[in-house]
Structure 1
Amino acid sequence: MTSQLSAICFNATRPSDLARFWSGVLGWEKTEGPDDGVALLPPDPAGYRIRFLPSQEPKTGQNRAHFDLTSTSPEDQQQTVARALELGGKHIDVGQLPEEGHVVLADPDGNEFCVIEAGNKFLADTGFIGALACDGTQEVGYFWSRALGWPLVWDQDQETAIQSPNGGTKITWGGPPVAPKSGTNRLFFELTLPAATDWETEAARLISLGATHTDTNADQLEGQDGRVLMLDPDGNEFSVRTSAGTARLSTHNPR
């Protein structure tokens, strides 16, 4: 069996405050514990969590990944935007055009996200978090499709998207040009090994698909909760739990 996506993690300067913001925006339950730090639990118990981890590294430039939140109506979109602003979010300009229907915001830690207008066909039936939209190559889309065992649901003009066979949030990559990476990504995937899966075998599989090892924070990660840090073909960090521990196993994203 392949590694399973168990969490989307945020490196945050104020993890508890950021968790409170996203809990209010999404309506997800917040939990704290010595092993998991601060996390949000999805409405679907099999879905991935959102985790907030302490980091003192300042945000530099635009993130390589952001959430696209869906709307059921113009009123629903306005309510989501108003709720985010009340909780400490703000409007930002990333070059969007006035005629575009989505609203671009930043959370209190500066992480970008979009509230998409109603009627977006690509995000139909995905749930409130319609997509994790990433800056990345076609190669990295292929890598994650194989690494997670999720099918490609879009592959055109070097743009790719994958989705769990069970539906839910899509993960997309916009293709070239890909902005140069500076520093550690603030958003990254956390994978968990299924029970009885040998770590060395899975590491070899991920490396054969294009992943690489990194020494950055590896000792700290391994000492905390059995996690190992790796890089995908675009140089994006992701972690793999070498033991299940308290992690929530997931084969699909929240609906």
Structure 2
Amino acid sequence: MALRPVHVNIKAVDSSAVGRFWAEALGWSAYDAGVTTYVGPAGGLVWPDPVFLGIDVVPVPGPKTAAKNRTHLDLATTSSAHQAELVARLRDLGATPVDVGQGDVPWTVLADPEGNEFCVLEPREVYRDTGPIAAVVCDSADPRAMARFWDEALDWTLHEATADRAVLRSAKAVGPYLEFLRTPDARTAPDRVHLDLQPYPGEDKEAEAARLRTLGATDLDLGQGDAPWTCLADPEGHEFCVLSLS
């Protein structure tokens, strides 16, 4: 039994506009997925994508608070020139610079039009084959503990687990990484960015959710009501959802 991440869930007041931003940012397409806007590789909607993690932008009534999201995206670049060009293009699309206490670093921290933080990385060899999203990055008090939980939760491969950093990636060595970075920041608001997971065909969503609870996950009420997905939080409170197969 194991789960696979299928997309990154981003909450937004204007989900269509934020979806269009991310489609332009990544060079992908925005697809009307009912009440949500799904962003995935161009060429037609394929979900779940066999390589990349798409973005599902979900409408919510309230704007983001001033609190920093504990989960964000890192975008990959191939050269210093590419990084500068991408930052300029993103700002033209409506991204704004943000100070999250990063200091003098070689990457650029921006926020999408509704304030969701993300980073445009300097070129790094490790991210050469990830596609436009290098990593989904989560703040963590104890990356080793997160490595233990997520290594059991997912069918991904654990690449690193230290006091400062835990790193996982698809066992097929494709798409972005999932990283947990040690940070002293405490959670002050609900996350507006989280992972959505799905069982493989033939597996049972409720059985998977029960398995995650034995690993330390807890049930979460986000006002979802009688929804066909299960909302949970990992042992550090990072929210995620387990989707049904249909």
Shared fold per TM-score greater than 0.5: yes
Query: Are the structure 2 counterparts of residues 218 and 21 from structure 1 closer, same or farther at C-alpha, using a change threshold of 3 Å?
Result: closer
Q: 1:217–1:229: 8 Å Cα contact kept in structure 2?
A: no
1:85 correspondence with 2:91: yes
| Shift of residue 176, structure 1, vs aligned partner | 4.4
Instruction: Name which of 134, 140, 149 aligns with 1:130.
Output: 134
1:54 correspondence with 2:59: yes
Partner of 1:250: none
Task: Measure the CA separation in 2 of the matches of 1:111 and 1:90.
Answer: 10
Secondary structure of 1:152's counterpart equals: strand
| Shift of residue 121, structure 1, vs aligned partner | 3.7
Number of residue pairs matched by the alignment: 236
Partner of 2:39: 40
Opposite residue 232 of structure 1, the aligned amino acid is D
Q: Deviations over 1:225-247 (max 9, x none)?
A: x11111111112211113x22xx
Task: Measure the CA separation in 2 of the matches of 1:172 and 1:80.
Answer: 22
| Shift of residue 106, structure 1, vs aligned partner | 1.0
- Alpha-carbon RMSD: 1.8
Partner of 1:11: 11
Opposite residue 157 of structure 2, the aligned amino acid is P
Q: Deviations over 1:208-237 (max 9, x none)?
A: 1111112332424x1xxx111111111122
Q: 1:42–1:48: 8 Å Cα contact kept in structure 2?
A: no
Task: Measure the CA separation in 1 of the matches of 2:211 and 2:149.
Answer: 11
Stretch moving more, 41-50 or 181-190: 41-50
Q: 2:156–2:168: 8 Å Cα contact kept in structure 1?
A: yes
Instruction: Name which of 132, 145, 169 aligns with 2:176.
Output: 169
| Shift of residue 10, structure 1, vs aligned partner | 0.3
Instruction: Name which of 203, 222, 230 aligns with 1:216.
Output: 222
1:228 correspondence with 2:242: no
Stretch moving more, 228-237 or 150-159: 150-159
Unaligned runs of 5+ in 1: 246-255
How do 1:227-246 and structure 2 match up within 5 A? 227-242=229-244, 244-245=245-246
Task: Measure the CA separation in 2 of the matches of 1:176 and 1:21.
Answer: 28
Secondary structure of 2:151's counterpart equals: helix
Which structure has more relative contact order (CA 8 Å, sep 6+)? It is: 1
Q: 2:63–2:114: 8 Å Cα contact kept in structure 1?
A: no
Opposite residue 227 of structure 1, the aligned amino acid is W
How do 1:67-106 and structure 2 match up within 5 A? 67-98=73-104, 100-106=105-111
Q: 1:10–1:53: 8 Å Cα contact kept in structure 2?
A: yes
Secondary structure of 1:235's counterpart equals: coil
Q: Deviations over 1:156-211 (max 9, x none)?
A: 2242111111122111111242x222232100111112222223321221111111
Q: Deviations over 1:124-163 (max 9, x none)?
A: 4322211111101321232112111212112122421111
Task: Measure the CA separation in 2 of the matches of 1:213 and 1:157.
Answer: 27
